Amino acid sequence: MTIAAPAVAPATKTDQLLNFQDVAMTFPNGTTALSGVDLTVDRGEFVTVVGPSGCGKSTLLRIASGLTPATEGVTEVDTTRIGYVFQDATLLPWRDVQANVELLAELNGVPKAKRRVTAKEAIDLVGLTGFEKHLPKTLSGGMRMRTSLARSLTLDPELFLFDEPFGALDEITRERLNDELIKLFTEQQFAGLFITHSVSEAVYLSTKVVVMSGRPGKIVDTFPVDFPFPRDPEIRFTAEFAELCGKVSHALREGHH
């Protein structure tokens, strides 16, 4: 925990991991999910996107990961090491924690001995040591999400995409996982693009909060967040934090009519 990521990394060309220019997404049924989205994520950045439900936040991640191509605009992603954490943990119920965490390496043809070590390290990082032989159905929601995180960590991602990963968890578990995510972010040096509908989660986690409007999703405002890393949970109770949350909420309301 020696490395503290700078609040906003200087945006030189090589530092840019993700670059969206004027991206739009229209589904075959005619629904426009996104329009005119400009968004960049640089190394060292943790960008959070907040917006009302159905504003195309998830579509943004699907485009970034290559699952769905955008219908318009320029999308550049300057890495192949992309972690993707879904809304659900999407664990394979017949595999135990260890085998679930090994899955991605296995799909990429990493030899057994090597992926076992990588998985062990990832399990250790998310604090699940001792649960290797547990099946998903015996785990709590928070532990399933940790397993899912560990699984993506085995890819040693440069860009980590999070699609409302903690939305279904209770407040206490969510706050703990937020802290652990910040710890991982400062230690593992990935860039993050995090989708949420919680304003305080957005402000607490990120170096930059991007506010989206309702359908079609557009970026209405961007707020840099310069609290130092690793973040002290107590900042949640400071006046600056409350003020920033207020601004983000205000922008959300403004963009939502």
Partner 1 sequence: MTTAPPTAPKNRTMMRPATVKTSRKKSATWVPPLLVALGIIAVWYLVSYVFLDEQRRFLLPPPHEIFTDAFFQPDVISDIMVALGRTAVVALVGLAIAIVIGVAWAVAMSQARWIERSTFPYAVILQCIPILALVPLIGFWFGFDYPARIIVCIMIALFPMVSNTLFGLQSVDKGQRELFQLQKAGRWTVLTKLEFPAALPAIFAGMRISAGLAVVGAIVGDYFFRRGEPGLGSLISNYQSRVQSAELFAAIITASLFGVVIFAFFGWLGKRVVGKWYDFSAS
**By rule CB under 8 A, what count of residues binds partner 1?**
20
Query: In whole angstroms, how close is the CB of 114 to partner 1 at the nearest point?
Result: 16
Query: In whole angstroms, how close is the CB of 198 to partner 1 at the nearest point?
Result: 21
Residue placing its CB nearer to partner 1 in the complex, 66 or 246: 66
Q: Is 249 in the site for partner 1 (CB under 8 A)?
A: no
Distance CA 111, CA 34 (A): 41
**Residues 5, 55, 82, 211: which binds partner 1 (CB under 8 A)?**
82
Helix and strand numbers (H, E) in the chain are 7, 9
Binding to partner 1 (CB under 8 A): which residues in 160-219? none
| The token pair that represents 192 in the structure block | 């993050």
Q: Is 79 in the site for partner 1 (CB under 8 A)?
A: no
Q: Which of 166, 164, 152, 149 is nearest to 57 (CA)?
A: 164
Cβ proximity of 20 and 39 under 8 Å? yes
**Residues 6, 54, 66, 233: which binds partner 1 (CB under 8 A)?**
66
**Residues 21, 53, 79, 90: which binds partner 1 (CB under 8 A)?**
90
Instruction: Map residues 108-137 to x or -, x wherever contact with partner 1 holds by CB under 8 A.
Output: x--------------------------xxx
What is the side-by-side order of every strand in the sheet holding 16-26? 32-42, 16-26, 72-77
From the CA atom positions of the chain, what is the Rg in Å?
18
Backbone angles phi, psi at 52, to 5 degrees: -65, 160
Residues binding partner 1 (CB under 8 A) = 65-67, 82, 84, 86-88, 90, 92-94, 103-104, 106-108, 135-137
